[in-house]
Chain A
Amino acid sequence: MSRGFILWGVALLLPILHFLLHVGFGLGARAPDLLTVGLLVLARELRVGAAAGVGFVFGLLEDAFSILAFGANAVVLTVIGVLGARSRDLFMGDSLVFLASYLALGTWLRFALHGMLAGEEVRGELSRLLVVEAPLAAVYASGVGVAVLLLTGAWGRDPR
């Protein structure tokens, strides 16, 4: 099976796993943000417009459980999708360090943007979100994302 096929499979399974862990198993913040990880992985494979579309759909699904800031996740994940797709033009890399940094930075940005867009009522104190919550969530999601992609063989060079 080609790496591209596995990558697509894993990237589409990650959002399902995200909702299964967060909603199905009720783990909440104890589960990593695999929705963002899935989007970031998919965005590297898609064109900018398609990545924006995937981000919009993912965000809309996440927003289904939000009342105070309905639409915030859709905006943020659309932006993340666009930036993820654009990052392919700016950074070429398939090293482990690149993957971990890319996922961590993307997840941190997702939390930061959502915090800023959702307002103080939802996010609490902005500085704590940016310095404590978002970095921790980013490292957690990145670690789990890297592990899943490596274990499934979805990331790495195609055998020549």
Chain B
Amino acid sequence: MPPYDPEKISSQRRVDALVTLAFLGLSGLLLLLPPPVQHQISSGLRGSVLAPFIWTQEALREVRIRAGEVEVLQVQLDSVVATVSSQRTLEEENRRLRSLLELTERAGGGFVSASVVRPGTRGSESMFLLDVGVDDGVRVNHPVVTAEGLVGVVREVGRRTALAMDWTHPDFRVSAMTVDGEVYGIVEIRRGAFREEDRLLLNGVPYHTPLESGVGIVTSGRGAVYPRGILIGTVSELAESEAGWRRSYWVRPAVRTQSATHVLVLTHEEGPDVESLETLWLPGFVFEGLEIGETGIGELEAGELEDPNAPSGDESTDATGGESDP
């Protein structure tokens, strides 16, 4: 047993105290670092130490898809009926991918397709990783969309990955308008008691222009982030009205963020006209059971789905004709 040495113990305690203070100071410094430096640090960690875990999630998703295919083949051997029922998940994924592809084709470039990975760690709620980055033309503030509408926006970009936030993020704000271009406002998130209760709120609507339930809300194109015409959701009900000058409405989001597994990033680079995307969410076009009608977007009954490739009529085209600002 080593002899008791009060000098040595006292010296060790001093060193411990200094090291502890250094780490506490260092961790406190992280909180105060400017956001670009914070982003560099987090990007570096995600691209190095944590990369295997991100790859694991991507690999697992691939495996799940492949396992689904194998399962389908197995079931096909058993019976045709079982095959039909087991293909539903694949059909769902195919349908989503096909709708994304159709969106890309209509946009005529300017989009990059990406897969979504959710980190699932504390503090990363409302954030998701994309498997595209600077090499694919993705930059900070590029909008992320699906065929249903707006998902969120890119916040950080690495060489081959990007970190984006969806509309459930507390920082999410987007200038919006009704599909007819008559009413403008700001769409922002309102947190519910639970994350499942998070809703969008269309704020700043003039008091004397009431909106009906089901009216489609799209991005207005104001500001440099979101081009005009990306579908955000539909008006569901009046949230509040301040006597005589302002109303706000709850908006039913077009995209359920947790179900978005494949997305498109609007890269602003190759598209013919990225200032306006109204041609992509034209009235009369059908997305996932939502139809954009003359007054907005309404839920379609089963069996009412129209052919997405069918040309839209003149009446429906007129519905987005209003370009004038209020």
Contacts and interface: CB of A to CB of B under 8 A. Distances in A.
Contact of A66 (B23, B124, B171): B124
Nearest to A137: B122
A74 B30 contact: yes
A66 B20 contact: no
Given A60-B45, A114-B122, A124-B191, A78 B163 contact: no
B30 A64 contact: no
B19 A52 contact: yes
A121 B188 CA distance: 13
A63 B119 contact: no
Interface of B (DSSP majority class): helix
Interface residues of A, number: 49
What secondary structure prevails in chain A residues at the interface with B? helix
A65 B31 contact: no
Contacts of B27: 56, 59-60, 71, 74-75, 78
A49 interface: yes
A56 B26 CA distance: 8
A73 B23 contact: no
Contact of B120 (A28, A56, A72, A117): A28
Contacts of A49: 15-20, 23
A24 interface: yes
Nearest to B46: A64
Contacts of B117: 26
B155 interface: yes
B207 interface: no
Contacts of A78: 23-24, 27
How many B residues are at the interface, by size bracket?
Answer: 35 or more
Nearest to B59: A24
B14 to A, nearest CB: 10
Interface stretch (B49-57, B177-185, B268-276, B308-316): B49-57
A53 interface: yes
Given A26-B118, A48-B20, A72-B31, A63 B42 contact: yes
Contacts of A26: 57, 60, 117-118, 120
A69 B121 CA distance: 13
A125 B24 contact: no
Given A65-B46, A118-B123, 7 more contacts: A47-B12, A65-B123, A67-B38, A70-B42, A71-B27, A117-B31, A121-B171
Interface of A: 19-20, 22-29, 31, 33, 47-50, 52-53, 55-56, 59-75, 78-79, 82, 111, 114, 117-118, 121-122, 124-125, 128
